[in-house]
């Protein structure tokens, strides 16, 4: 796939819309995907959008994004705070990487204060609900234009 932006979503994000709506809002992951698809269509990017609850599958998808994508947006969900395997996979990429969170982990529990994955990212966008993804797509677009 040429000109593809990968958007990867980690564990429990398939439950968006019903999972702790007071924190994560009422958008479903399908809503998020369709907002991202509209953005990509308008700006002439192909979209490769995935969700998995399995850490190794996320690692495989990060590697695939490195081979086939021009940019990567990742919401690693709970693996943000635990996964050195994902950190290592992200470190191997040369394309821009934006870490995304729906909530603002910095304002939440202490175990969410560490992000391993952000340490391998170009930048992080968090706290804007489903719109965090659109802001991340905008960031990738600017990064690709300006580099």
Tell me which residues are annotated as active site.
24, 101
Q: For residues 70 and 77, which CB has a smaller minimum distance to ligand DQA in the complex?
A: 77
27 binds ligand DQA (CB under 6 A): no
Helices 55-68 & 84-91 angle (0-180, nearest 10)? 10
Give the residue, chosen from 74, 102, 121, 136, that forms a contact with ligand DQA under the rule CB under 6 A: 102
Q: How far is the CB of 86 from ligand DQA (least distance, A)?
A: 12
3-state helix, strand, coil in the chain (%, to 5): 50, 20, 30
Give the residue, chosen from 14, 68, 103, 131, that forms a contact with ligand DQA under the rule CB under 6 A: 103
Query: In whole angstroms, what is the distance from residue 64 CA to residue 25 CA?
Result: 30
Strand 4-9 versus strand 97-101 pairing type: unpaired
105 binds ligand DQA (CB under 6 A): yes
101 binds ligand DQA (CB under 6 A): yes
> Rule CB under 6 A: which of 69-88 touch ligand DQA?
75, 77-78, 80
Residue (of 43, 23, 10, 3) closest to 130 by Cα position: 23
* Beta carbons within 10 angstroms of residue 119's beta carbon: 11
Binding site for ligand DQA (CB under 6 A): 12, 75, 77-78, 80, 101-103, 105, 112
């Amino acid at each position: 796939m040429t000109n593809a932006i990968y958007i990867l979503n980690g564990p429990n994000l398939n439950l968006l819309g019903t999972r702790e709506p007071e924190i994560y809002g009422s958008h479903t992951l399908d809503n998020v995907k369709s907002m991202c698809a509209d953005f990509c269509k308008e700006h002439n990017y192909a979209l490769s959008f995935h969700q998995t609850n399995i850490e190794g599958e996320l690692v495989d998808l990060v590697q695939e994004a490195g081979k086939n994508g021009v940019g990567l947006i990742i919401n690693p969900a709970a693996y943000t705070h635990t996964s050195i395997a994902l950190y290592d996979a992200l470190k191997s990429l040369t394309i821009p990487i934006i870490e995304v969170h729906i909530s603002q982990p910095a304002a939440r529990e202490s175990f969410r204060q560490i992000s391993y994955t952000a340490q391998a990212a170009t930048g992080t966008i968090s706290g804007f609900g489903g719109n965090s993804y659109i802001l991340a797509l905008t960031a990738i677009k600017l990064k690709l234009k300006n580099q």
